[in-house]
Amino acid sequence: MSENGIMSRAKVLTIDTMNPTVKKVEYAVRGPIVQRAVELERELSEGMKKPFAEVIKANIGDAHAMGQQPITFFRQVLALCSYPELLSDSTFPEDAKSRACRILQSCGGNSMGSYSASQGIDSVRQDVARYIERRDGGVACDPDNIYLTTGASDGIVTMLKLLVCGEGTTRTGVMIPIPQYPLYSAALAELGAVQINYFLNEEKCWSLDITELQRAVNEARQYCNPRALCIINPGNPTGQVQSRQCIEDVIRFAAKERLFLMADEVYQDNVYAEGCQFHSFKKVLFEMGPEYAETVELASFHSTSKCYMGECGFRGGYMEIINMDDEVKDQLTKLLSVRLCPPVPGQALMDLVVNPPQPGEPSYGSFIKERTATLSALAEKAKLTEQVLNTVQGISCNPVQGAMYSFPRITIPEKAVKEATEKGQQPDMFYCMKMLEETGICLVPGSGFGQKDGTYHFRMTILPPTDKLKILLNKVKEFHQRFTQQYS
């Protein structure tokens, strides 16, 4: 101990004296299994011997990391915006140059290095509004209702933040699907809001039942104040695509129960299954007539991270806000202004996503070709994944109608469940950890997303290139058979 006793003093900030709501946060997609995967990668690179040659991270929807190529046009425009001297380079197509000029003209000092307005660059918000109008068959969209965000994550957390109030039985409750994308549970834990689970129906292809919504909200009213309903469509981790009818029913339910609707539509272009189609909540809402269109409060979220572009690292996104109270909107703008602005390169990228090359423009052909190639490959891989997994006894996988993941149900033998429980681990975490150690494949256990008690799942992205995906699926198959045998 030192003279004045400083050395021996406890730290100011310890696990016991830190923010208790932060401690409650969980985020499985980047949890212990991923940390172990990173360790294994390091060990491999240091020459340690493992039963596999490489770690395959099928835990996260990170398309480029899995080898997907960026859209050439998007990257050309970003390069032009980053280094405008290139505008005089004749190898760049004219449409890329004109897009870059339009973006730069909307930036302070014509530089992406300026802060933008907190709500996002005006011209980008206008382009987003026009995109939404086209997508929704002409339903009007006001650029004032568009807020650019730092990925969809930022928009979702911000909206949840606005909604949280009350204490005890009047505390805000938010309905989320189970299984869910764990951003929702994490944000609710951090905000100290009440998480209200509604279960998707695995037997019916992970569809959403209104009776289940009703059960969930009725029960919740006994201990909190349900104020919002979150929908993920197409679903993560479950891959279902909601029917128009279902969306209408959900909107009616939200109106009846007075719930603020949050529609997470980041996978809006990722629809693969025959007969499935993406319907935006906004469009359906407006088609239901003024009784709904003028009253139901809706926030919908989009992102540059998914679809055919997969540009996660740029952290681009937007939200559209419908029927929000004007005073609350002012508060939202104020709140966003504290963080100054979303990253401008991400805003630029969002602009390109909503305003891609048009017929007649020089880059149109290559853009369509690249987009189609990526989306057809994803559709093929969705099918392949479902098919191979369903050949394995003890694995059953719903069709991957959309998004980027399969979420198969797995049978875990009693003996394995027991061993996991003794270790204090969830059985599917035990299963996934074992798979990682034996095969190098990194998946996320179903328990990270939530699942019906007594059922087990894992989530696996469909993103690896087809060849690799085949190998991966076969390894999963072999592992499952070995595991089942070992614990029978």
Ligand X SMILES: Cc1ncc(COP(=O)(O)O)c(C=O)c1O
Q: Between residues 4 and 485, which has the closer beta carbon with respect to a second copy?
A: 4
Among a second copy, ligand X, none, the one that 65 touches (CB under a kind-dependent 5 to 8 A) is a second copy
The residues that bridge with 406 in the sheet, in sequence order, are 460
C-alpha distances in Å from residue 424, one per residue of 26, 410, 486 = 17, 20, 20
In the beta sheet, which residues pair with residue 441? Answer: 56
Cβ closer to a second copy: 33 or 392?
33
What distance lies between CA 462 and its chain's CA centroid?
Answer: 14
**Residues of the shown chain interacting with ligand X in the complex, contacts defined by CB under 6 A:** 61, 151-153, 181, 183, 232, 236, 264, 266, 303, 305, 312, 317, 340
Q: Identify the DSSP state of 361.
A: S
| C-alpha torsion angle, residues 474, 477, 480, 483 (rounded to 10) | -60
Residue closer to a second copy, measured from CB, 293 or 410: 293
The partner in contact with residue 264, picked from a second copy, ligand X, none with C-beta cut-offs of 5 to 8 angstroms by kind, is ligand X
Task: List the interface residues with a second copy, window 180-239 (CB under 8 A).
Answer: 182-183, 186-187, 190, 227-228
Binders of a second copy among residues 161 to 180 (CB under 8 A) are 161-165
Q: What is the smallest separation between the CB atom of 152 and ligand X, expressed in angstroms?
A: 3
Nearest of 231, 384, 234 to residue 306 by alpha carbon: 234
Choose the stretch contacting a second copy; rule: CB under 8 A; options: 75-83, 232-240, 388-396, 406-414: 75-83
Residue 283: φ, ψ to 5°: -65, -50
State which of positions 332-361 bind a second copy (CB under 8 A).
334-335, 337-346
**Which x/- pattern, by CB under 8 A, does the window 23-62 give for a second copy?**
x-xxx-xx-------x---------------------x-x
CB of 301 to a second copy, least distance (A): 14
Q: Which residues 6+ apart lie within 8 Å of 370 measured at CB?
A: 69, 71, 72, 308
Q: Does 22 bind a second copy (CB under 8 A)?
A: yes
Residue at token pair 């029913």: 249
**Under rule CB under 8 A, residue 15 binds a second copy:** yes
Name which of ligand X, a second copy, none residue 25 binds, using a CB cut-off of 5 to 8 Å depending on partner kind: a second copy
Applying CB under 8 A, which of residues 255, 276, 375, 384 lies at the interface with a second copy?
255
When CB distances are held under 5 to 8 angstroms depending on the partner's kind, the choice from ligand X, a second copy, none that residue 303 binds is ligand X
CA–CA distance, 473 with 470 (Å, rounded to integer): 5
Q: Nearer Cβ to ligand X, position 151 or 445?
A: 151
Q: Residue 358: helix, strand or coil by DSSP?
A: coil
**Short-list 143, 152, 238, CA closest to 187:** 152
Minimum distance between the CB of residue 109 and a second copy, rounded to whole angstroms? 4
Confirm if 177 and 403 have CB atoms less than 8 A apart.
no
Nearest to 344 by CA among 82, 71, 32, 76: 82
Distance CA 347, CA 341 (A): 10
Question: Binding of a second copy at residue 311 (CB under 8 A)?
Answer: yes
Q: Which of 309-317, 353-361, 401-409, 440-448 is the region at the interface with a second copy (rule: CB under 8 A)?
A: 309-317
Q: Annotate 389-435 with DSSP letters as a single string.
A: HHTSTTEE-----BTTEE--EE---HHHHHHHHHTT--HHHHHHHHH
Which does residue 50 bind out of a second copy, ligand X, none, counting CB within 5 to 8 angstroms by kind?
A: none
Query: From a second copy, ligand X, none, which one binds at residue 232 (CB under 5 to 8 Å depending on kind)?
Result: ligand X
Pick what 53 binds: a second copy, ligand X, none; C-beta below 5 to 8 Å, kind-dependent.
none
| Per-position x/- string for 94-133, each x denoting binding to a second copy as judged by CB under 8 A, each - no binding | -------------xxx-xxxxxxxx---------------
Contact, 362 vs 95, CB < 8 A?
A: yes
**Cβ atoms 96, 363 nearer than 8 A:** yes
* Contacted by 236, from ligand X, a second copy, none: CB < 5 to 8 Å by type: ligand X
By beta-carbon proximity to ligand X, the closer residue of 461 and 484 is 461
CB of 93 to ligand X, least distance (A): 28
Interface with a second copy includes 295 (CB under 8 A)? yes
Q: Which of a second copy, ligand X, none lies near 67, with the C-beta cut-off 5 to 8 A by kind?
A: a second copy
Rounded least distance, CB 162 to ligand X, Å: 18
Q: Which is nearer to ligand X, 55 or 148 (CB)?
A: 148
CB 367 within 8 A of CB 357: yes
Q: Which residue's CB is nearer to a second copy, number 82 or number 481?
A: 82
In 152-264, the DSSP E strands lie at 172-178, 194-199, 225-232, 260-264
Contact criterion met (CB below 8 Å) for 171 and 193: yes
CB 300 within 8 A of CB 434: no
Subset of 126-155 contacting a second copy (CB under 8 A):
150-151, 153-154
Q: How far is residue 393's CA from residue 386's CA, in Å, rounded to a whole number? A: 13
* Interaction partner, residue 38 (a second copy, ligand X, none; CB < 5-8 Å by kind): a second copy
Percent of the chain that is helix, strand, coil (3-state, to 5): 50, 15, 40
Residue 4: which residues within 8 A CB-CB, separation 6 or more? none
**Choice between 142 and 414, CB closer to a second copy:** 142
Q: Do residues 358 and 364 lie in contact, with contact meaning Cβ atoms separated by under 8 Å?
A: yes
Q: Least distance from C-beta 51 to ligand X, angstroms?
A: 30
